[in-house]
Amino acid sequence: MPHPDVEAEAETLAETAYAKVNVALHVRRRRDDGYHALESLFAFAEDGDRIAGEATDDGAIDLIIDGPFGAALDAGPDNLVLRAARGLQAYLGEQRGAAIRLTKALPVASGIGGGSADAAATLRLLVRLWDVRIDAGELAALALDLGSDVPACVGSVTQLVMGRGETLARHPVAGLEGLPMLLVNPGVAVSTARVFSAWDGLDRGALVADSLDSLTRYGRNDLEGAAIAIAPVVAEVLDALKEREALLLARMSGSGATCFALFETAAARAVAARSVKAERPDWWIMETRIRRA
């Protein structure tokens, strides 16, 4: 037994904030509330940022940020991790606080849901850390208040996402989950708001996501053109990926600038990664897989 004068060490728990990719992203129209009506198939990488934390008794929410891209973020009150933690704390009337560490492995403002995934992982972490019960619908509502992608990131499973992000449906696609994936970012941060503002407004049709073949043949990212106009290097990334052997699909994710490539085998992905690194050592690259539920 520990000595009564020795304070027990606080338990540290952790969650992965899985990187998100839009396998396809169809923008149908601009809604009356200013948001865009989207149809998208979200999938998630096996890897991402890391959120770790310990419960505290003083009610304070403290955040430390480290990792390769940590310097690009501010730990101030507008940080999505802090907003998620304080929002959940207030909703639950929770008296305990938390000391949270965000290890930022994903580029910032890069179209792979980094901030949204961090917020979602924070919600998952604190539900466990505080050992509280909350209805899935209530958690989804809290998540949507934080951002359109956050509800999908809470589950981090392959799903159809409609509207501005409020309509979700688990949607496994045969042959997709577990596929080797390469993520490539050219080191350019792209503003989501600016890309949506530059969208050409054309409705090119509904998303068909009944098979991997449909997604590759008929799926699109309707924001690619706008992102390339703002950051032409996105086209260079896509060109670099589309020439690789055993490639199934190469497309931009979200509003950019990160692009992803799906491969038939891990060996083909590794060859592509080595080639891209040799050609563009200044680009960020992650070798991963589509996460299985």
Catalytic residues: 20, 149
Distance CA 51, CA 29 (A): 35
Residue 80, amino acid: L
> Could you give the angle at which helices 136-146 and 80-92 cross, rounded to 10 degrees?
140
**How far apart, in Å, are the Cα atoms of 91 and each of 54, 57, 130, 257?**
19, 18, 13, 35
Three-state SS at 201: coil
- Give all strands (DSSP E) within 76-155, no chain letters: 97-103
Residue 245's CB: how many other CB atoms inside 10 A?
A: 12
Six-digit token string for 203: 């409705």
What are the residues whose beta carbons fall under 8 Å from the beta carbon of 94, sequence distance 6 or more? 88, 130, 132
Residue 29's CB: how many other CB atoms inside 10 A?
A: 11
The helix (H) or strand (E) run that includes residue 22 is strand 12-30
